[in-house]
Structure 1
Amino acid sequence: MSHQDAAHTTGLSTGLSTSLPETRAAEAAPAVRRSDPQVRAVTVRDIAEAVILGLRDFQAAPLYGLAFGAFYAAGGLAIVACAFWAGVGYLAYPLAAGFALLGPFVAVGLYEVSRRREAGVPLSWSGVLGTIFEQRHRELGWMAFVTLFVFVIWMYQVRLLLALMLGLRSFSTMQEFLTVVTTTPEGWLFLLLGHVVGAALSLVLFSLTVVSFPLLLDRDVDFVTAMITSVRAVVTSPLPMIGWAAAIVLLLIVAALPGFLGLVVVLPVLGHATWHLYRRIVVPKA
């Protein structure tokens, strides 16, 4: 008999000595609420080690990383191309910046690759993609909705600032738009406010998703609990986590400059590293 079985048997024996109402109350009490995941404080060293492990995962399974990175880069190119096709090319930069907000959702497949390597489970496309496909029945879909909602808010505030700062004028070319925002006081104010609001939204989304996506993939918890756990992780280690958020933003900006091509490599490394950082932050189940 295992230790758990012995403990369970002892509990049942003890329960027989109590009255029926007390037994029912004792049995019902644990079912009221599951304990929330516990978080640990992390340091810059933990983040550096997570990045190293992320690089190792990418080197060990490069095809998976390159495939998800290429998919992400192709999505960015498609969004920008659609903006020019629709005659709103001046929104290409805000769209590209906002597209970076969708990275945590796209990286779910990379979390699964790291999880399988950590558990010693053989990698296969059917296994990785099958796990992602199964998430449609779980809470991860709601987190994807939260991510898309923040992206919509980002684009809405861009259009609002354009109307407030630059009026209702339309820009026929990207060059005309760049000339206005870089050579006029109104344009400078638009850039300043836009980047401040964008940084705030990025920090909010980072706080909501840095732990929640890998947590939902790894455990059976609801998306609200996952978001609360993610925010608690940032609050517990504010300086290292905000520094990590800033590093992610800078890496994504640099990677997106050469036609999004850098994202093919940067996204996989960041995705794998995020999984290993999650392992350091959230205390494993007993």
Structure 2
Amino acid sequence: MAHTPEMERSPETLPANHGVPEMDAPNIAILRGALVSGWQDFKAAPVFGLLAALACILAGWMMVGVTYASGHTFWLILMVFGFPLAAPFAAFGTYEVSRRRAAGQRVSVGAVLRVMWGERNRQLPWLCAIMIVVLLFWFFLGHMIFALFLGLAPMTNISSSLTVFLTPDGVMMLGMGTVVGAGFALFLFSMCVIGLPLLLDREVDYVTAMLTSVQTVMAHPWVMLPWAIFVAGVCLLALLPGFLGLLIVLPWLGHASWHVYAALLDGPAQS
């Protein structure tokens, strides 16, 4: 049954669709179309995306302040590479905005927040908990990599000098950290690229959502991996101007991520 603007979903109402839907094969045209549709959604309903991005920016500034106050500025590197890992969760609200626009439903900050609040009783918190554990483990492992190569270096304060990274140990540390960080990013991307919108759209358990997402990425690596690299690269570039680039990038990619999922469904996202 098609949704109408009058059929608003309350926080207590579960999605009408149960189980994992059949999904079409992704292609580059779908990704391009998702970026265009995502930008249109952002322009049509920018408030929620801007609020989510602003929250991420404030969190980033706070983390920078803590690292400088503590004197452990090497944590900034881990934060910069770890920040995109949490981007899918931060953009979750934009999925609901795009879902509502596609279904012809009213879009407002209050309506979106009510749906997000209602997710606390479903499977989303479990997936978010896994994302947080992975992010914390990345910080722990990244710190170990830093200590392994540069722990005995006379200068490890990146706020006063970057020359430490030009030494052989510094180059090796950056190389290993990049490889390990890319592995973490790919792992989270594989879990979330389909898993997060699937949890919003369907009544499935979080394990099924994660497995479905990973299987999609593994089945179509030559399409999904370039998408992952694009998302990670744009997010990293958005961090350079004091995190302010996230005001545009985070909502845009959040909306686009929903459209990638919706385009892969064998039928409309909500039926």
Q: Does 1:195 align with 2:178?
A: yes
Q: Closer, same or farther in 2 for the Cα pair 1:60/1:165, shift >3 Å?
A: same
Q: Does 1:57 align with 2:41?
A: yes
CA distance in 2, matches of 1:154, 1:220: 30
Task: State how 1:133-282 maps to structure 2 within 5 Å.
Answer: 133-168=117-152, 173-176=157-160, 178-182=162-166, 184-282=167-265
Alignment TM-score, normalising by the size of structure 2 = 0.88
Deviations 1:180-216 (A, max 9, x none): 122x111110000000111111111100100111111
Q: Is the 8 A contact 1:65 1:268 kept in 2?
A: yes
**In the alignment, which residue of structure 2 is the partner of 1:24?**
none
Q: CA RMSD in A?
A: 1.7
Q: Does 1:116 align with 2:104?
A: no
Q: Closer, same or farther in 2 for the Cα pair 1:175/1:84, shift >3 Å?
A: closer
Deviations 1:38-73 (A, max 9, x none): 222111011000110000001111222222221122
**Structure 1 stretches of 5 or more lacking a match?**
1-33
Correspondence for 1:130 among 114, 130, 135: 114
Deviations 1:100-154 (A, max 9, x none): 1111111111001111111111112211011111111110001111111111121
CA distance in 1, matches of 2:201, 2:214: 18
**In the alignment, which residue of structure 2 is the partner of 1:40?**
24
Correspondence for 1:91 among 59, 64, 75: 75
**In the alignment, which residue of structure 1 is the partner of 2:7?**
none
**In the alignment, which residue of structure 1 is the partner of 2:55?**
71
Deviations 1:151-194 (A, max 9, x none): 11211111111222123558573245622122x11111000000
Q: Is the 8 A contact 1:87 1:172 kept in 2?
A: no
Correspondence for 1:105 among 86, 89, 97: 89
CA distance in 2, matches of 1:169, 1:132: 46
Equivalent residue of 1:283, what SS? coil
Calculate percent identity across the aligned residue pairs.
39
Q: Is the 8 A contact 2:194 2:212 kept in 1?
A: yes
Q: Closer, same or farther in 2 for the Cα pair 1:66/1:35, shift >3 Å?
A: closer
Shift of residue 283, structure 1, vs aligned partner: 3.0
Shift of residue 96, structure 1, vs aligned partner: 2.1
**In the alignment, which residue of structure 2 is the partner of 1:13?**
none
CA distance in 2, matches of 1:36, 1:268: 26
Larger Rg belongs to: 1
Equivalent residue of 1:174, what SS? coil
Q: Is the 8 A contact 2:19 2:203 kept in 1?
A: no
Q: Is the 8 A contact 1:90 1:171 kept in 2?
A: no
CA distance in 1, matches of 2:141, 2:135: 10
Q: Is the 8 A contact 1:206 1:245 kept in 2?
A: yes
Aligned partner letter, 1:66: L
Aligned partner letter, 1:104: P
Q: More displaced, 60-69 or 257-266? A: 60-69
Runs of 4+ deviating beyond 4 Å: 168-172
Q: Is the 8 A contact 1:40 1:233 kept in 2?
A: no
Aligned partner letter, 1:88: H
